[in-house]
Structure 1
Amino acid sequence: MTGSVLVGRAPSPGDISTGYDAVVVGSGAGGLTAAVCLARQGRRVAVFEQHFTAGGYTHAYRRPGWEWDVGIHAGGEVFVRTPVARIELDGARASGVVLADGTQVRAPVVVSAAGAQNTFGTLLDDGDGERSAVMRRGFPFVLLFLGLDGDPVEPGLPRHNLMVTDGDCDAFFDGTGVRTSGLFLSFSCAKDPTWTAQHPGRSTGEILAYVQPELFEPFQGSRWRRRDPAYLALTAELTAELLDQLHRHLPRTRGRVAYHELGTPLTAEHFAGWPGGSLYGLAKDVAAFRDGRRPGTADWLRPRTGIDGLYLAGQDCLAGGFLGAVTGGLLAAHEALD
């Protein structure tokens, strides 16, 4: 396969200006949405991303001979391999960011799409860090990337997403059930009318499943691609379980899986920076959204924060999932332009 699926560019000396109308921390769906909305209103915007490609959980992904397009793309001033160390304050107002290499970037508008716990607990020395720290994180996940022989129609890949529930979901989320729960199967190749012409004889897809948070805790602190043998054994077990489920629900895929690779909560934490590898950021539960008798623990999280000039985008300020992240980014831009 030719070409590149990487989005954004690592800055060369002199590329980053000392000042913008707005800076965005994180390039997931929420951050990029906010950036696009602000740019379309004539604001000069810079997006800073720690990963080597933009997109967060929605970036395109490639291995030799295979490509998974799991999300959205963006152009413009998107700087990758450029982590933000902290958000700068001028008194009680956000005034820009300091990058990990010490570069100061001034801006009257700072949009953080790095999640509430990263924003208030790491990027800011702020009392709200304690409030976000006590909030429960959402459940982590594993994601199996699949490469299959044959055009999408041959293994019978559906154009719609498949949501599969299994067993007692409440028991899983209460911590008393099995180690994985539910399945989300998606095959973007089957939805793309140009796929077969570009990738004849090949198909790709993803299978996502929740996992218990403690499952990967013994391997915290290990390095990507240098994991413990016990970690590799665990990922092999989970891969086999997910492949069994794939063949059960889509029997024509049997014998056609030519490539597979499993992403884990540690993978997500390494690349996306989400504490614990949470899929949907902070937990979206009754405690967060109130139960009718007492305020929710997330009531204070809004696109417009208590700090002038600082806005939250993404899943933590509204709702989980792609649409929640995008809407959060839209609302952050709206508040910043108000």
Structure 2
Amino acid sequence: MSRTGTQSQSGEGRASVYQEVTDRIIADLEAGTVPWVQPWGRAGLAPGLPRNAASGRPYSGINILILWGAVIQQGFSSQHWLTFRQALALGAHVRKGAHGISVCYADRFTPKTERDRAARDGDEPGQVSFLKRFTVFNIDQCAGLPEGFPGDPAPLPERALIPSAEAVIAATGADLRIGGDEAFYVPSLDYIQVPPQPAFPDQINYYRTCFHELSHWTGHASRLNRIFSGRFATQAYGREELVAEMGSAFICATLGIRPTVRHADYLGSWLEILREDNRAIFRAASQASKAADFILADAENMEQVAERGEMVS
């Protein structure tokens, strides 16, 4: 049983974390397993983001892929995770022989020496980036948890109107145009076009497609300001498609819609990107989380206003 606590990583340690996770994602993709969609089919789980079972907070960025990957490999029946100490605080314990999963936390801090130098020189202090890893256990690996401890949501019907998804799309205020036979986002004119829902053989794909294009939409200069400089089939184009694929998957999982691969034809491009840059998947997952949070935040704000009885126009 691992009881690893929080550990700071720097220099070679940080590099090994980036490479370790990147190698794992590459191996999954080479095996035909796309980490941001596979847990649902193989483990039989309902869609959902991995969450800390004690706080209820969802994990974000690369940690979503790490924990979904663990669900795939070990067949866990839950998306909820605890640290060793959190399990003890709940009156439970991690089962003997259970091996935890390492997740990452990246941030920046200002060393005291830098604060002192900045105060002396009268300028802004510099910051040092750091990467920590800590160990979590799936609640399947814990015993003695309180009765009725967090479960996972039931999957939605595949061919039903999804009011929550409709609300999220509407709350963005995006210029979403229905028509034609192609789905795309035009950054220069800041609009999205998506075929009408009945045009999709599986109508659930209408929502998956909307969230893919809305993830692109968040990259506009007036929002999250990502760069759309890449032409089709270039690495820059592939990087943005990777963000949109994962962004859509994260939103779908939040709403109880099973994510799927919308653009499997980019698989070769994604593998090339990851092989050349072991931080690419970290950046893409972080940007995808930010895109998903941006899209979901508008719907959450509208819901809070509605609960207060205020007018939303």
TM-score (norm 2): 0.28
The structure that is helix-richer by fraction is: 2
TM-score (norm 1): 0.27
